[in-house]
Structure 1
Amino acid sequence: MTTTPTPEAAAPAADATPEQRLHPLSWLFVLIRQLRQFIVPLVALFFFGQGDRNELWPLIGVGVLALGSIWQYFTYRYRVDGDRLVIRSGLLHRSLRQIPFARIHNVALHQTLLHRLFNVAEVRLESAGGEKPEAEMRVLKLADALALETLLRRRSTGSADAATPDLAEQGQLLLQLPPGEVLRLGLISNRGLIVIGAAFAAASQVSPRLIPNLFERVGKMLFGYAGSHHFGAIEYALAGIILVAGVMLLMRLFSIAIALLQYHGFRLQQHGRRLTVERGLLTRVRSSVPRRRIQAWTLQEGLMHRLLKRRSLQIDTAVAGKQDDPRGIGELAPVATPATCDALLQHLLPRAQWPLAGWTPLHPQAWWRLWLPGIVFTLALTAGLGWRFGHWGLLGLLWLPWAALAARQHARRAGYAIDGQLVAVREGWWSRHWRFAELDKLQALRLTRSPLDRRFGMATVHLDTAGASALSPPLRIRFLADREAEALYQRLAREVARRPLRW
């Protein structure tokens, strides 16, 4: 919150610390951040300019930005005042910002390669409310940033040693990813698609015809080579298989490279009631969040996970900003063995007795409801193929048995479980997930019935928590018998009503 100075606010507490400034080079990092979107035109002007005086006008804007960055350094102050952090900025337009330690839920330290060269870091303080961080400090000395993080962590938990932060405090190490595990993460993930998509987007910005022309030239070259060597059907099939395998291999190599850049040196530590994650090869990110701010948990297990005997553990947290922000904590275990994930959950949820026992299956006819979208898709596909290829289009009906098998397997594995602390849902066949939350974290319940659900005598119970990511699987119990869904809804409603909501 931003306030105007009052006599009470201006008087420092007895244990207040002196005001401190940002790092002397903070103006340079702020300037670089502001010039990031103009760097390409400026480089082109410097190397390819024609010497016209009019080309020098953009340098005036650069000078204004530089003066603004220096102004921010000289007018930005912060200090610790009792149970809060006080930030003062501005000279003509003054701002006094007081942030109670209890409001700070996440402390994120960010270091690019340039930051690491100068031994500095950006510090961002986040809360559970609002879309923006409570404060961003660009930049502090690394020692000052770590000291501030430790101080805020201890003050927020009411530690008696809050006034004397120990920079050597390492906390309890819960998980560390060696290089071999990071390589497995690259094989499991599909982050190579991000690189290819970004390359296509950049190429289309340069020239809309660049990608079509490239495909046209490559196609002519390949088909010309195949025609000159008189390829038959078998040779064309082998060439197609090799081409697809090459593209998949390239994507996996990109995924491995991204995983190494993002997750090299991954460490999950516990400092009292806070969890801290540190990761990154060139850019190091260190972020911490109180354990109580975790709203929901997700265990992911795709096909590649099972082939490598691994899982991923993700969380939703009630903090400001976007859940997919690279500086936040979204993964406690990007990749780990099932036993490691279970041990981590048992440590962090000691009262829940994970893994849960006594999973309840869905409605006996749930596989029909899961099969219906496959039937509609197959009929539409067959109609389109029949219109284009005649009787050969009937081969599209071969998708029906596969869709039925997938629906049966999905329904057979799906279910839910509830104990005194957790409500959990499991879904999926090829790609499986377990989604669960503490009963204290449930914020809303919904009981829904679609027209098809009413026809089959089914209902779905939706469970809402704070901080749910749009990319996370929904926390819902689908395709239950009407009476079972109603009884479950009433049971959970009573549990939620008698428990205080814990953010």
Structure 2
Amino acid sequence: MSAPAHDDARAGAGAAAEPVADRRLHPMSWLFVLVQHLRQYIVPLLILIFLGRGDRNELYSLIGVGVLVLFSLWRYFTYRYGVGANGLVVRSGLLNRSLRVIPFVRIQNVGVHQTVLHRLFGVAEVRLESAGGKEPEAQMRVLKLADALALETLVRRRGGDPAQAAEERADSLLRLSPAEVLRLGLVSNGGLILVGAGLAAIMQSVPDFNGRVPERMLRVGVRWLFGRVEGYHLDAAGYALLAVAGIVFVAAALKGLSMTLALLRYYGFELSEQGRRLTAERGLLARWRTTVPRRRIQAWTLEEGVLHRLLRRRRLAVDTVGGDEHEDGRALKELAPIAAPAVCDGLIAHLLPHARWDALPWQALPKAVWWRLFLPDLPWTALAVFIAYWQVGEWSLLALLWLPWSAFKAQRRARRMGYAMDAELIAVREGWWRRYWRFAELDKLQVLQITRSPLDRRCGTATLWLDTAGAGALGPPLRIRFLPLDEAQRLYERLAASLAKRPLRW
């Protein structure tokens, strides 16, 4: 845990000056700290034990496990926390002592996490996050579940608006039934991602996997498959049907895995509102509970793919300040992992009552920009034809059939591109095969930028970038592309003048 900043100490001086009763973590907290440290070593260790070549001298590295046990016990006996009038006081260390005072008003996100092991012991991990950085202000492994929920309630009461402090009633905004969670697994690609990550981990851990192992597995698999089907004396059409059936089977297996993962992660999902804070709780075996103030939501994203449209569903995601986008899904990133379009619109209308999302004046971009979307496919297609020519000869020209489809797709995308702006909100929309709408309140904008590529200067166009705090690198950008230069400059000046009159809201 990092040393306290000077402003934190001054802000929490009142809390530190009072007698604060020291509280220990749960007596089994050392076990969870140990498990956390061993997570990155457990897979190589199991591979070494079960797939090793008999050289047990390599197991001397288990001495490091004993060192980690001592470190975990040391952390338990030297870690204390207490609750003051204005903040949370955390003491740690014995030789190198640290005192950190965290004002309640600085704590923005409260995360309560339970794995299967946590639930067996009736405990939970608590993360207290601020708007400032990627690392949590405090991370407590672990507290009794009742103490964790009491701490969450305490932060909500003392860190919010005093006028809202007495408000205790929580209103449920969205619940996902098991059927909805299964639909979520059907539209997601979690199974494919998991299989790919597993293969990558094995390739890094198993000796010679990149060499002899895949070749041997492929040879054995092909020999077994042809041994099973050669007795049927299939013709070319039969083998083609068999190949199609194999592809369908693999796709169905991956979708089944995706649905299983969705049940594990999103079973019992509930989004509730208490005062000015939103709380999301989910999980079948492990449970996640995340609380964040509504004012910390910086930008919104509506998404729908082809399967979403077939099922008449969408996904509503948000960017929040204070959460790490790479932190194992613990930050509040989704208000509705899957829901009907009317439900998503209702959530937006409830949480942004002045934005009038359903009545935005959308402005379409010139349809002639479709060739700008089509242009990047030309060099890649030519490169694919050139590489394939050395393998299959004139058959490589079949790759040129991609170009008509690419042109059709670019025209469809150009028809859907657009932007909208009113007194409260600015929004963009893009995509055709996979569509998204991204929008933010004007008060949440932090940076405006106009960029022009050489092709933009040739065509007299520009791209207007709109940046907010908490924007993730993996999400769709908040930008307006292919704007005529004069229109981009007018929109930029209008936004800049609007921002100059408004205080920045976090």
Residue aligned with 2:363, SS: coil
1:323 CA drift (Å) = 4.8
Distance 2:56 2:485 in 1: 77
Q: Secondary structure at the match of 2:284?
A: coil
Of the three residues 410, 413, 416, the one matched with 2:416 is 413
- 1:481 shift after superposition: 1.4
Indicate whether 1:440 and 2:438 are aligned.
no
Write the deviation string for residues 61-88 of structure 1: whole angstroms up to 9, x where unpaired.
4444333323322222212222211111
Task: Tell me the equivalent position of 2:219.
Answer: 216
Matches within 5 A, 1:12-411: 18-39=21-42, 61-159=64-162, 169=168, 171-204=170-203, 205-206=205-206, 207-208=209-210, 209-323=212-326, 325-386=328-389, 388-411=391-414
Q: Distance in 2 between matches of 1:238 and 1:55?
A: 49
- Which residue identity does 2:78 align to in structure 1? T
Shift of 1:12: 5.0
1 CA distance for matches of 2:139 and 2:426? Answer: 37
The amino acid across from 2:175 in the alignment is Q
More divergent stretch after superposition (30-39 vs 304-313): 30-39
Q: Deviations over 1:294-349 (max 9, x none)?
A: 11110010001001110000111111533553111111100000000000000010
Looking at structure 2, the residues matched to 349 and 340 of structure 1 have their Cα atoms a distance apart, in angstroms, of: 14
SS at match of 1:253: helix
Are residue 497 (structure 1) and residue 496 (structure 2) matched?
no
Q: How has the CA–CA distance of structure 1 residues 475 and 194 changed in structure 2, closer, same or farther, with 3 Å as cutoff?
A: same
Relative distance call for 1:48 and 1:354 in structure 2 (3 A) is closer
Query: Mind listing any 5+ residue stretches in structure 2 that lack a counterpart?
Result: none
- Map Cα deviations across residues 122-149 of structure 1 (whole Å, 9 max, x no partner): 1011112222111111111111110100
Report the number of matched residues.
498
Q: Is the 8 A contact 1:314 1:331 kept in 2?
A: yes
Answer with 64-73 or 89-98: which moved more.
64-73
Specify the code of the residue in structure 1 equivalent to 2:198.
A
Q: CA deviation at 1:500?
A: 1.4
- Aligned partner (choices 410, 425, 431) of residue 428 of structure 1: 431
Q: Secondary structure at the match of 2:217?
A: helix
2:50 and 2:449 map into 1 onto residues whose CA distance is 62
C-alpha distance 152-385 of structure 1, shift in aligned 2 (>3 A): same
Q: Is the 8 A contact 1:324 1:330 kept in 2?
A: no
Question: Structure 1 residues 37 and 415, CA, compared in 2 at 3 Å: closer, same or farther?
Answer: closer
Kindly report the root-mean-square deviation, in angstroms, between the aligned alpha carbons of the 2 structures: 3.0
The one-character-per-residue Cα deviations of 1:14-63 (angstroms, maximum 9, x if unpaired) are 987532221122122223323344556877999999xx998996665444
Amino acid at match of 1:178: S
1:2 aligned to 2:4? Answer: yes
Residue aligned with 2:432, SS: coil
Letter in 2 for 1:77: R
Q: Deviation of residue 404 (structure 1)?
A: 1.5
Q: 1:40 to 1:297 in 2, by over 3 A?
A: closer
Q: In 1, Cα distance between the equivalents of 2:439 and 2:306?
A: 21
Over 3 Å counting, the alpha-carbon distance change for 1:45 and 1:224 in structure 2 is closer
Tell me how far apart the structure 1 counterparts of residues 56 and 398 of structure 2 sit (CA, whole Å).
Answer: 69
Please say which of residues 361-370 and 429-438 is displaced more in the overlay.
Answer: 361-370
Give the Cα separation in 1 of the matches to 2:371 and 2:39.
54
Structure 1: 5+ residue stretches without partners: none
Which stretch has the larger CA shift, 217-226 or 185-194? Answer: 217-226
Question: Alpha-carbon deviations, 1:348-387, whole Å to 9, x = none?
Answer: 1011011243210112321121121233333333444455
Choose 428-437 or 325-334, whichever is displaced more: 325-334
Normalised by the length of structure 2, the TM-score is 0.90
Task: Measure, in 2, the Cα distance between the counterparts of 1:308 and 1:16.
Answer: 58
Identical aligned residues as a percent:
58
Separation in 1, partners of 2:11, 2:188: 53
C-alpha offsets along residues 465-495 of structure 1, whole Å, 9 cap, x if unaligned? Answer: 1111111001110111121111111111112
- Shift of the 156–239 alpha-carbon distance from structure 1 to 2, 3 Å rule, reads same
Deviates more, 1:295-304 or 1:360-369: 360-369
Taking a change above 3 Å as real, the CA distance of residues 487 and 220 of structure 1, as seen in their structure-2 partners, is same
CA gap 1:279/1:388 in 2 versus in 1, 3 angstroms: same
Residue identity opposite 1:483 in structure 2: D
SS in 1 for 2:273: strand
Where 2:473 maps in the other structure, the secondary structure is: coil
